[in-house]
Amino acid sequence: MNNNKKSNVAIVEFKSVSRGIFVADGMIKSARVNGVFAGTLCPGRYLTIVEGEVSAVESALETADKLGGRHVISSLIVSGINLKVIEAIGGDTVSAPSGSIGIIEGMQMANLISSADVCVDSADVEFADFRLAQGCGANSFYIVTGTLSSVNEAVKNAAGFLKKYGTLAAYKIIPNPDGQVWKWLRTSFSKCG
């Protein structure tokens, strides 16, 4: 994973699955963007995240707002986001913890993604999972791993960011989790529901 490179993302959440799929196609066709994530959320929502240059994600977002109309719940551009966040959303995460773990849970996708950027920019941690409300009800979460001091710093900053926007659901730090706990976590990483 790349620690220092940055990119930009457009995040669009729809209240209609069919409209979300239609608009995701339009976003990618209208601008030089790369798809990071497109999929259903609970309950009956659709989320699309695209990545690219600022002008490209701005164009994709304009297309989303135009084609999505009243079906767009929220749309946002996050500029200068760490590529580690984009890779984790796409499923590129570590397969085993390296020391401690921190779990950050939020109620709004764009803020959670922004908090993940704060998290990895503030300490040397890696993502172990990144779940965007797929089959798990309303909340989304991510899990980071690293030394206890790094996890403490990263989680403190991410939780502070979410608290500032009123979207922090919960957070916990587990110093050196037991191997059985990690095994349970790995098996729960498949979509719930």
Domains and CATH numbers, the chain: 6-84 (3.30.70.1710), 93-188 (3.30.70.1710)
Percent residues over pLDDT 70 in the chain = 91
Has residue 53 got a pLDDT over 90?
A: yes
Cite the beta strand spans of 53-85 per DSSP E: 72-82
Q: What is the pLDDT of residue 51?
A: 95
Query: pLDDT: is 4 or 82 the higher one?
Result: 82
The neighbouring-strand residues paired with 52 are 8
- Taking the alpha carbons at both ends of the chain, their separation in whole angstroms is 30
The neighbouring-strand residues paired with 146 are 100
The whole model's pTM is what? 0.83
Cα(116)–Cα(39) distance, integer angstroms:
20
Question: In this structure, are residues 68 and 25 in contact, taking their beta carbons and an 8 Å threshold?
Answer: no
- Mean pLDDT on 92-108: 87
Cα(95)–Cα(85) distance, integer angstroms:
16
Has residue 136 got a pLDDT over 70?
A: no
Q: What is the pLDDT of residue 166?
A: 93
Question: In this structure, are residues 98 and 150 in contact, taking their beta carbons and an 8 Å threshold?
Answer: no
Q: Tell me the per-residue pLDDT of 157-181, one tens digit each, with 9 for 90 and over.
A: 999 999 999 999 999 999 988 888 8
